Amino acid sequence: MRIQLRHFFVALLPLIFGLGASWGFAFSQNTCGHLVGPIFAPKCHWIQLEYQLGFQMAGTLFGCLIAAVVGAWLERRSRRRLTQTANLTQEVQ
């Protein structure tokens, strides 16, 4: 059960990073005036959404990279533990 939870939380990392980046951008740029100025602000709603999606994709990519590194590290750690256990059982016999 513990291994499944570990894999579940590693798989959640891209989602968490993507949503965090998207929300971070949305809350920091609450109006279009910050992006293009007050003259073009009424026409830039779609541009703001495109930027928000870009931040979400970048956050998801970063989360995927972090999940890959953490998953590889956990796999390496578990394999090292298995080989140490196998070596100890061979020495005992």
Q: Domain coordinates of the chain in residue numbers? A: 15-30+43-63
In order of 27, 38, 51, 74, the CA distances from 24 in angstroms are 5, 22, 12, 29
Contacts of 35 (CB under 8 A, 6+ apart): 29, 44, 47, 48, 51
For residue 80, the model assigns a pLDDT of: 79
> Could you give the count of Cα atoms lying within 13 Å of 56 in the half-sphere of its Cβ?
11
The answer to whether residues 43 and 28 touch, using CB atoms and an 8 Å cutoff, is no
For residue 57, the model assigns a pLDDT of: 96
For residues 71 and 23, what is the distance between their CA atoms, to the nearest angstrom? 26
Query: Quick one: average pLDDT of 60-83?
Result: 89
For residues 35 and 57, what is the distance between their CA atoms, to the nearest angstrom? 19
For residue 88, the model assigns a pLDDT of: 67
Summarised one tens digit per residue, pLDDT across range 16-71 is: 999 999 999 888 877 777 777 777 777 777 888 888 899 999 999 999 999 999 99
